[in-house]
Every structure is written in C-alpha cells, then in structure tokens.
Amino acid sequence: MDLKSGYPFWAVSNGLMQAFPPLASDHRCDVAVLGGGITGALIADELAQHGFDVAVLEQRDIGWGSTAASTALLQYEIDTHMVDLAKRYGEDDAALAYLACAGAIDQLREVAAPWRDVGFARNKSLYYASRHRDVRPMEEEHALRVRHGLEVELLSADRVREDYGFEAAAALLSTQAAQVDPYRLTHRLLQRLHRQGTAVFDRTRVIDLHTTSRGVTLRTVTGFSVRAAHLVVAAGYASQHWLRQNVARNRSSYAVISDPLPDEQLGFLRDTLLWETARPYLYARSTADGRLLLGGEDDAVDIPAKRDARVEKKARTLLKRLHHLFPEWEVTPAFSWAGTFAETTDGLPFFGPHTQWGPRVHFAMAYGGNGITYSMLGAGLLRALIERRKHPLWPLFSFERLER
C-alpha cells in the first residue's frame, strides 16, 4: 500500500540516498528486523551495537514509507495527557511513561551525534490551549507533571501574548524536546550498520512467517528465506497485517512546508515546537534550513486515492490556521504531503511478542504522535526481552495491557 501522498520534504530534499541490495539468497542471523524505516533502523542499531547479528528487510527503498512523511517532532508528551493516562493505568505508570519519553530525547541526541547533517536540534515545546475550557485541564496536567519532576512552566494568556505574539488562554512550556530529519537519520544508521557487516536488504518483500520453539523463518516473494532466532516486526502501520487482532486504527496526517524564511519571521519557532490542545491539532516547527513546517488536520482516511485528493485542500487549511494565529506572516508553500500512520486508543505503543506468534516474534508498534521517541524506547525494551532481562516499561508497553 502507498503510505504517503504528495511531495514529502525529506524525500524531495534528500532523494534516494542509497540503494541496498535485495535479498538474493537464503540468509541466517540472530535477529531479523522487518521494516527499514526509522523504527527498524533504531532497533537494528541497538541490537547490532550490542553484539547481535542483525538483518534488516524492507519491501520498498529504505526510509521510503511513513518515515519520509513524518514531521519528526520529538517530544516526551504523549497524545494522551498524563492526567488521563493516570486515570486509566494509575499515576505511577503514567509517570513512568512520561519520564521515559523525556529520557528518550537525550538518547536520540546521542544516537544522532555522529552526523551533523541529520538536522537534530534541541527545542522547547509550547503547548497552547485552543479554547478557554482547556485551561483547567492544562492546570491539572501541569501540576501532575511537576509533581513527578518534569520541568514544565504554565504560562498565562498575557505571557503567551507578550513572549510569543499570539492569543491563547494558556500554554505549557517545556525544554525537553527536539527535531530531526528522520529520513536522513534512518539512512545514516543503516549505512553505518552496513559498513560494519550488518545485512540490509531493500526491495525485499516478506510474504510468509513460520515459527518454531527455536526461531522464525521468513519467506520472500522471490522464494528466498531468512532464518533467525528472533524476528522484530517494525513495519509501521503495516505491522498490523501480521496480527488477527485489531490493536490500532489507521489515520492520515497532512503537512505543508514553506520556502526558506528569514530568522526574524520564524521568530520563536527557530527553537520551539508549537502545538495545541484541539484534536486534531495544528503543530509547527522550523527546519535546519530555515523553513516553516506545519502539520495536522488528521482524519480517518487511509485509502491512498482519497488521501491524495485531500492534500492540497488540507494544506490550505493548515496555512489558514497559521494565519489566524499570526495574521502578519506571509508564508509561501513549497511542498505539501500526507502520510498514513496508526494510533492506539490510549496513545501508548506496543512492543514485544503477541500470543498469536509466540515468544520469538516481537512487534515494534511505535504508534502515536511521538513515534520516534517510542522507537528509541522500544529499541532498549526489545533488546532486554531478547536477552531475557526485565525492563520497567514492558508491562505498560506490551500487549498484556489490552487485558487490563
């Protein structure tokens, strides 16, 4: 299935950075990773750097699926507020999830550090109240985060107006956020792994899995097989193809990016991610080359042709919403696009085995608005499971929580 529409900026600006060979013979390894996007790359890197013989298989070109369409806002905030997560799973688990995501930003910085060209930058995050009725929940959210040691400041309407130049009833300001070029980071990680001896196969479509007590065999459409002790399914929303149980719903999100803008026009967006309480929410950030990137207008459409037809209209809506906040801004759009993603009912990801396949098949479903942050956490969680070690996030991020 086509995962994106229009002209995703990362794919346009970077092009096809490198083609890896397709699988052309049978292969053996410790861990096979099915999916060559940012999630698969982070997991493969974590495993390979800790001594596992890894093979990555991608049915398209590397990074050419949802990764190329991602707007890559790296945040600790989960789509489900900490207050609501606490009501559902308890305050301790809610705090565990939020604090882990905050720590993942630092982990991603370390992962991206070897390359100056992946667009990684630390940011602030400004989360503003779209409506006056959102202020009270925001105050409760602020109090709970502060109680658990997260550095976040509650801003009044006057403070938002004075410091940021737009009208909002209130806002939460945090410093634990970042941004990255996800497509380029994916390629840099897998290029390094390939040089180090890790097998990376693109244009390799897996059509069948067979599990035993000792391992997993993957069969490709061309008739070759990969035998591995463990399999990690990191194929984005397409991972649901391998499960009979419906664990998430597909959504499409839309984005538009401007021509390069002068620093004085970007203003606070040079180092701050902007997003809102309304659902679906508008979000904005800048890029390393001074462009303004807007995203949002999510809907339930996941049929490529219908999604394609909506891209330009959605882009115009995003620009109108920006103009409502900043009437004086003149923004010329350069590219617009859409991508299909998946989201869970509680905003949390799924990592680990499912009873349908047994303990040798691990899923990496980093679903939600902060999928890259989840992927970083999932890399460590899955390594712990494969090494038969306990991990504090396992109960909360596993399929077992569906039974709570």
Q: Which domains does the chain have, with CATH numbers?
A: 4-13+20-69+183-247+347-403 (3.50.50.60), 249-343 (3.30.9.10)
Q: How sure is the predictor about 304, in pLDDT bands with cuts at 50, 70 and 90?
A: confident
pLDDT at 297: 92
345 CB-contact burial (10 Å; exposed 0-12 / middle 13-18 / buried 19+): exposed
CA distance 397 to 260: 39
- Range name among 64-73, 143-152, 177-186 with the lowest pLDDT average: 64-73
Measured CA to CA, the distance from residue 381 to residue 398 in angstroms comes to 10
Q: What was the pLDDT predicted at 368?
A: 85
CB 247 within 8 A of CB 399: yes
Contact 318, 327 (CB under 8 A): no
Given a cut of 90, is residue 390 above it in pLDDT? yes
pLDDT tens by residue, 213-235:
999 999 999 999 999 999 999 99
Output the six-digit token pair for 244: 């009979």
Q: What is the pLDDT of residue 308?
A: 86
- pLDDT value at 4 more than 80: no
Q: Minimum mean pLDDT among 3-17, 58-72, 104-118, 165-179: which range?
A: 3-17
Do 123 and 273 meet the contact criterion of CB atoms below 8 Å apart?
Answer: yes
Higher pLDDT, 399 or 308: 399
| pLDDT greater than 60 at residue 36 | yes
Hey, what's the torsion of the CAs at 348, 209, 205, 199, to 10 degrees? 80
Higher pLDDT, 301 or 244: 244
- pLDDT at residue number 369: 83
* 253-290 per-position pLDDT tens digit: 999 999 999 998 899 999 999 999 998 889 999 999 99
Q: Is residue 66 over pLDDT 90?
A: no
Q: How confident is the model at residue 379 (pLDDT cuts 50, 70, 90)?
A: very high
Decide: residue 210, CB within 10 A, 0-12 exposed, 13-18 middle, 19+ buried. Answer: exposed
Average pLDDT, the chain: 94
Q: Distance (Å, rounded) from C-alpha 183 to C-alpha 364?
A: 18
Specify the pLDDT at position 6.
63
Tens digit of each residue's pLDDT (9 = 90 or more) over 70-125: 889 999 999 999 999 999 999 999 999 999 999 999 999 999 999 999 999 999 99
Please state, in angstroms and rounded to a whole number, the distance separating the CA atoms of residues 326 and 336. 20
Number of H helices, E strands in the chain: 12, 18
**Closest Cα partner for 292 from 270, 321, 317, 315?**
270
Calculated CA dihedral for residues 156, 160, 162, 164, nearest 10 degrees: 160
CB 171 within 8 A of CB 51: no
The rounded Cα 182 to chain-centroid distance in angstroms is: 9
Confidence check: pLDDT of 3 > 60: no
Q: Which 3 state secondary structure label does DSSP give 99?
A: helix
The model's pLDDT over 326-371, given as tens digits with 9 standing for 90+, comes to: 998 888 899 899 988 899 999 999 999 999 999 999 999 999 889 9
Q: Which residues pair with 251 in a beta bridge?
A: 341
